[in-house]
Chains A and B, each alone.
Chain A
Amino acid sequence: LRCVRIARLPAPVSPPREGDATRREQEVSDDESVQPPNMDPVHDALERLEWQDAREEETPHSRLRALTRRTALTGGAAGIATAILTACGGGGDKTTSSSKAQTTSSGGTPATGIFKPAKKYKFVFVNHVTTNPFFVPTRYGAEDACKLLGCSYQWTGSENSNVNEMVNAFNTAITGGADGIAIALVDAKAFNGPTDAALKAKIPVVSYNADSTENARLAYIGQDLFVSGAEMGKHIAELVPSGDVALFIATPGQANIQPRIDGAKDTLKSKSAIKTHVITTGAALPAELSVIDSYATGHPETKGYFAVDAGSTQGLAQTIQKHNLRNKGVKGGGYDLTPTTQKLLADDQIDFTIDQQPYLQGFLPVLQLYMNKVSEGLSGIADVNTGLLFLDKTTVAPYNDTKSRYEGTSSSAGVAKAG
């Protein structure tokens, strides 16, 4: 799985900068060096890392990092390298795609060497719920892309969907001379003016997570919300052929969730046997849970519980578990992966949840904005649908067993076993 993940990333762009000694060693060792490990690649790697670090300001932390890295790599290198090479059976053809990519870039040209950026670019992400845990992987994605490309990003906006505050942050980004702006277009109109102003000032703008086609942004990176809702509708129709179905939505009208429920209703309106009821649950998770709980108490005839936002999905899974509704054949499903949703899905309390890869919603905007800058607008911009990945109780297992930046469950690189 991990190889696949790596292969999907644009690996040849640059060598990774951070990571533990083992991983670094794995990448540094190339196919040719099957002979007793020589230390050249290690020094090479050290040099490269230090060269990259030198462009950052020196802090006590970075000095310590450099010291530990030097010790770890030079000291531990020989032994670890031998072990890995032996484990690989010396087979050049068994190496991962990432180490192959490393080989081809012979000595690893950093992104700055390949793209020759005019300066260290700074991108600004304007978000509607800056401190929401959903966006933790998004921020890791942006951070990783920035490390990869040698640029930086700022995470700002509003803590509670205050559009005026987001507009303020957007305008500050323009004034502050950001090199690119990624915006969650949670309002259909409010950002049209700022986007036009940014584009006029030659600042590329892409939207992520939520979109508005009225806006002049260059591309959208995120889930195709309406389509995902329509697909969910099909799943609902399969699971509950007839009867009452409750659709929960946290904040109706918000541009990153409303299209989903529209899509679901659009699919379901042709199924006359299914009666849909839309219920608003509110923005805060505890409140959402109590709304769904009381709905379940008041409407025992409901055959299916489905939601279009992360909080309501978790809430309905907890409600189904609390009232033992699975025994009555109740179906359930929704969006996104909170730790609780994941666990309850694996426990077969609900039937599915939809992953929209929040990591990519941070990683790809940085990549696109960077490419747009270095190519001076010739390339880099593309709409990306980050996914419509239906997870069931078996496919959710790796999400429960692992910790990674991709799911926001760990801050360190790689995919680790959950403790």
Chain B
Amino acid sequence: MSDTRTGDDAPATAPPAPSSSEPRAPRPGARELALRFLTLREGSIVVVTLLAIVYFAVQNDRFFTHANFITLLPYFAPFAILAAGEVLLMVAGEIDLSIGSVSIFAPFMFYEFNQSGLPLMACLVLALACCVVVGIINGVLTEVVGVSSFITTLGMLLALGGLTLIISHAQPVAMPGAEVTSHTVNVTHVVNGVKVVLPEKVNETGTFAKIFGAGTYSELIWALVIIAGVQILLNRTRWGVYTIAVGGNKHGAAEAGINVRLTVIRNFIVCSVFAGLVGIMEATRATSVTPDTAGASETMFRAVSAAVIGGTLLLGGEGTAIGALLGALFLGVLRDGLTLEGVNADYLDFILGLAILFAMVINVYVGRVRKRSGVG
């Protein structure tokens, strides 16, 4: 597929950089290893993410702590899941802008189903079923009717945001199943060698909430499972091969007998379901959900940028789920690190923007080195 990337290849061959002559001269063992690492499509983003982590760890002694690791999780795990869905579509040459709205629509449907008296699991299944419907509409409009996916899902982004406002009456609601109950337990402390039993308040959430978002590692585990699933799907299954083929050359794929419509539509469905799941988990984590449509497009942008930073091409034909995870991790590290550093809101976007540009320059440079060394 990489031969379709003419735009990327062109600058790589243009200036003969001084470093290009030496790759294989000294210490071939280490070189070989480094190059092999960089031949991975995600190699460069790993380097960039590590650089960011090292930078913040040096800058702030609290960055490299367990507490901050836990704080960092919600900065990237939900976006990694969203980005994984987006990768599936972007590899197939399409894009889904509606995920931001789906992720606020789903928890409201969940709430409405719960209000009608259904148990939590049934609500979850039904809410995700609504997302499936959204995915089918997106897919059919794009593939069967022939509206470009950008416009289809842009319309869906607005329509679904509006629908959420209507069904919620623009009122935030408490997320069912996420109630935090606190009770007091007696904890034994050892003070100066004397055992003291003190009552301590402990917050407790339900099992459903713990699995779907409220548990400390729940979003991380979901993200890792989903990333692994999408990675296998893309690389090891027919579905994945078809997806890549459709993104690389749609007509060619159709001529070769691939059912293009089915391939794209089911990718739309998966993307929507992921978005719905993230919405429900984030609402459960915050214990409440606000019908705030202003944030929807930002959520979508972060997911798309995580996918692109992770090496997925906007034009289709290339991309990996692990790259999406790393892209999301990189953005999460930046946001958490800068907030930890004490960067004020006005400066945050500015510095974040420059950091992303800087990192992507390194990313492209590292990618170029890998190409020049002939292994790319």
Contacts and interface: CB of A to CB of B under 8 A. Distances in A.
Interface of A: 122, 127, 130-131, 152, 154-165, 167-169, 171-177, 187-190, 192-193, 196, 251-254, 280, 283-284
A152 B172 contact: no
B345 A283 contact: no
B171 to A, nearest CB: 4
A190 B174 CA distance: 9
B94 interface: no
B62 A254 contact: no
Interface stretch (B45-53, B81-89, B110-118, B285-293): B285-293
B282 A164 contact: yes
Nearest to B67: A175
Given A161-B294, A162-B298, A164-B282, A190 B342 contact: no
B10 to A, nearest CB: 38
B68 A162 contact: no
B348 interface: yes
Nearest to B75: A168
Interface string B44-66: 00000000000000001010010
B169 A187 contact: no
B3 interface: no
Contact of A283 (B68, B174, B294): B294
Contacts of A162: 292, 295, 298-299
Interface in B168-199: 169-172, 174, 180, 182
Contacts of B180: 189, 192-193
B339 A169 contact: yes
B71 A187 contact: no
B339 to A, nearest CB: 5
B295 A190 contact: no
B60 A176 contact: yes
Interface in B322-340: 335-336, 339-340
B343 interface: yes
Contacts of B75: 168
Given A131-B345, A159-B345, A160-B292, A167 B339 contact: no
Chain B interface size range: 35 or more
A7 to B, nearest CB: 31
Contact of B62 (A167, A171, A177, A190): A177
B255 interface: no
Given A160-B294, A188-B172, 19 more contacts: A130-B346, A152-B342, A156-B343, A156-B344, A156-B345, A161-B290, A162-B292, A164-B74, A172-B339, A175-B65, A176-B62, A177-B62, A192-B180, A193-B287, A251-B170, A252-B171, A253-B170, A253-B172, A280-B170
A157 B288 CA distance: 17
Contact of A171 (B71, B201, B290): B71
B290 A163 contact: yes
A162 B296 CA distance: 9
B21 interface: no
A405 B60 CA distance: 32
B174 to A, nearest CB: 6
19 contacts: A130-B346, A154-B339, A154-B344, A155-B344, A158-B295, A159-B345, A159-B349, A160-B295, A161-B290, A164-B282, A168-B336, A172-B68, A174-B67, A175-B68, A176-B340, A189-B287, A196-B182, A196-B201, A253-B172
B346 A131 contact: yes
Interface of B: 60, 62, 65, 67-68, 70-71, 74-75, 78, 169-172, 174, 180, 182, 201, 203, 282, 285-288, 290, 292, 294-295, 298-299, 335-336, 339-340, 342-346, 348-349
Which of B62, B295, B349 has most chain A Cβ within 10 Å? B295
Contact of B169 (A175, A192, A252): A252
A137 to B, nearest CB: 15
Contacts of B174: 188-189
B354 to A, nearest CB: 18
Nearest to B60: A176
Nearest to A131: B345
Contacts of A187: 172, 286, 288, 290
A172 B340 contact: yes
B286 A172 contact: no
Candidate in B285, B287, B348, B349 with the most chain A CB atoms within 10 angstroms: B287
Contacts of B170: 251-253, 280
Contact of A254 (B71, B172, B287, B348): B172
Contacts of A175: 62, 65, 67-68, 70-71, 340
Contacts of B298: 159-160, 162
A252 B169 CA distance: 8
A286 to B, nearest CB: 13
Given A160-B294, A161-B290, A169-B339, A193 B203 contact: yes
A400 to B, nearest CB: 26
Nearest to B182: A196
A175 B70 CA distance: 9
5 tightest A-B CB contacts, nearest first: A130-B345, A253-B171, A160-B294, A162-B295, A190-B286
A193 B60 CA distance: 25
A164 B340 CA distance: 17
Contacts of B78: 164
A352 to B, nearest CB: 26
A117 to B, nearest CB: 18
Nearest to B172: A253
Contacts of B335: 168
Given A176-B62, A253-B170, A253-B172, A164 B68 contact: no
A157 B74 CA distance: 14
